[in-house]
Amino acid sequence: MSNFWQQFPRPFFVLAPMADVTDMAFRQIICETGKPDVFYTEFVSCDGLCSEKGRPKLMLHLAFKKNERPIVAQFFGANPKNFYKCAQRAVELGFDGIDINMGCPAGKIVKHDCGAGLIRTPELAKEIIRETKRGAASAGRRMPVSIKTRIGYNKIITEEWISYLIEAEPDAIIIHGRTMKEMSKVPAHWDEIGKAGLLCRKAGIPVIGNGDVVSYAEGLEKAKQYDLDGIMVGRGIFRNPWIFNPSIDPATKTPQEKIELLKKHMGLFIELWGDPSTSSGQAKNFDVMKKFFKIYISGFDGAKELRTKLMQAKNEEEFTKILSE
């Protein structure tokens, strides 16, 4: 299996992994509005995927379609053996890459040494990289293993931490320019991303910067200024779902076009996760879909009122009824 991280023209763009956002339904919409060079799944628990009970639901989080390639499966956990197993499974499922989450700051995650907690336990982090690489090399193929991380835990230790990760020879490093403690509360430290970039470049490891990028032009500028291979965009997609398609000005999109896109997204969401009003129920809460309403229902007269009404919907039927009214 080739290392796709090495193959794009520079700089390339990546849609950030976002829990309850970047599932197959949303990625299908983004394939239509403007596809990034790389997609990520939402993060998936390694321990959950390795348990009989957790697996069926988590497999839905790992669902993808061919038009989303190259796509990376992102995992979080703290058990190297389970990373080994999940990497093997990611190969079987046909992913193009696997990413280790070393950046999630949520208390319930770091408490168990997962996510950004691994910055505190560097030896465990290294063992996890080793086991993931071993699992990713199963079946005679070697799937690239990347790391998405931050610039420190309680304080900025960019050079120390990134140098340490480089020793484990990952295939790419994605740097979110904040510490765990900073959560998303301060502007990303792009100068620190630049420092990390320098180290990665010397080691021949592709480096992707992440934090607060809200437009394609800004991404290009940051990549140039800090000499990076790629840019990862997270929340910027909420402001502009056409962000990866710089030829489109979202202001030119009509309300009807936006509403059609939302309807399509809703259909894909229900197809993937089920409808709360059916007997089989739903694998993801219907309310998760509501955080997307603002993406589509904004920038036109009456948008706010329509959104307020749509927020009352409890299932697809009610949603459709409100829209038709």
Closest CA relative to residue 101, chosen from 91, 92, 112, 93: 112
Q: Which of 1, 19, 60, 198 binds ligand FMN (CB under 6 A)?
A: 19
Q: Which of residues 126-155 bind ligand FMN (CB under 6 A)?
A: 148
Annotated binding site for FMN: 17-19, 74, 148, 176, 234-235
CB of 283: closest distance to ligand FMN in angstroms? 17
148: left (phi over 0), alpha (psi -120 to 50) or beta: beta
Q: Which of 46, 104, 114, 200 is catalytic?
A: 104
Active site residue 104: yes
Half-sphere exposure of residue 154: CA atoms within 13 angstroms, side-chain side: 2
Asked if 180 interacts with ligand FMN (CB under 6 A), we say no
DSSP assignment of 107-141 equals HHHHTTT-GGGGGT-HHHHHHHHHHHHHHHTGGG-
Q: Which long-range contacts (CB under 8 A, 24 or more apart) does 26-29 make?
A: 26/265, 26/268, 26/292, 27/64, 27/65, 27/68, 27/71, 28/65, 28/67, 28/68, 28/268, 29/241, 29/261, 29/264, 29/265, 29/268
Task: Give me the amino acid identity at 71.
Answer: I
| Nearest CB to ligand FMN, comparing residues 22 and 88 | 22
Q: Rounded to the nearest whole angstrom, what is the least distance from the CB of residue 54 to ligand FMN in the complex?
A: 16
Residues 102-121 binding ligand FMN (CB under 6 A) are 103-104
**Shortest distance in whole angstroms from residue 133 CB to ligand FMN:** 19
Give the binding range for ligand FMN (CB under 6 A) out of 17-25, 61-69, 161-169, 267-275.
17-25
Choose the stretch contacting ligand FMN; rule: CB under 6 A; options: 29-37, 100-108, 295-303, 310-318. Answer: 100-108
List contacts with ligand FMN (CB under 6 A). 16-19, 21, 42-43, 74, 101, 103-104, 148, 176, 210-213, 233-236
Indicate which residues carry an active-site annotation: 104
